[in-house]
Chain A
Amino acid sequence: GAGVSQSPSNKVTEKGKDVELRCDPISGHTALYWYRQSLGQGLEFLIYFQGNSAPDKSGLPSDRFSAERTGGSVSTLTIQRTQQEDSAVYLCASSLPRQEPYGYTFGSGTRLTVV
């Protein structure tokens, strides 16, 4: 597609429920990143996928968070047993490897609210 697409744009969920957030990167972009943007905070790195390599999961805040990238394209970020502190905007970015680190294209994000 023309840009990085994220869905849903907004999600309200009850505490304790699981949620899935989707990212559809730009076609051909092999690098994909998830970040979390909390109110008054900077962007917090969560996870990085590069092609078929093992993902860098070093930023995932707890084992309730996981992410997959199927077929080297679409990625899903899953949060299990959501907590109120998970409320944030979740941003996805993609890039071509040779453009790293300055070729990130960000999606518009998913605003998650846990009530």
Chain B
Amino acid sequence: AQSVAQPEDQVNVAEGNPLTVKCTYSVSGNPYLFWYVQYPNRGLQFLLKYITGDNLVKGSYGFEAEFNKSQTSFHLKKPSALVSDSALYFCAVRVISGSARQLTFGSGTQLTVLP
């Protein structure tokens, strides 16, 4: 079985400061890893993914995430937060070799960027 943990329900950061949203995962094989963002009353939007290759992946809106296999983590980062980054962020995983096509999502982290 695959699972995702987002240990922080809420992250607050001042505008202009770096932000980190944490994610750890548990799978029995090699993972595909994703970050999605959800703005109020909107569907989830894809931010970035790790499939293979370089452990540091860059995505939309200046976000990036680092795949760390030894720590089974995939933390989302941004060097300088914007107020408009305030939203609900979800980490998700899928096993590469599994027959299941669905993603398993974490419980989400509410990011609030304070002006």
Contact = CB atoms under 8 A, between A and B. Distances in A.
Given A31-B101, A33-B102, A91-B44, A41 B107 contact: yes
A106 interface: yes
B interface, size bucket:
20 to 34
A40 interface: yes
A102 B102 contact: no
A106 B92 CA distance: 14
A48 B43 CA distance: 18
B107 A108 contact: no
Contact of A106 (B4, B43, B106): B43
Nearest to B6: A42
B46 A102 contact: yes
B22 interface: no
Interface of B: 4, 6, 9, 32, 34, 36, 41-46, 49, 51, 90, 92, 94, 100-108
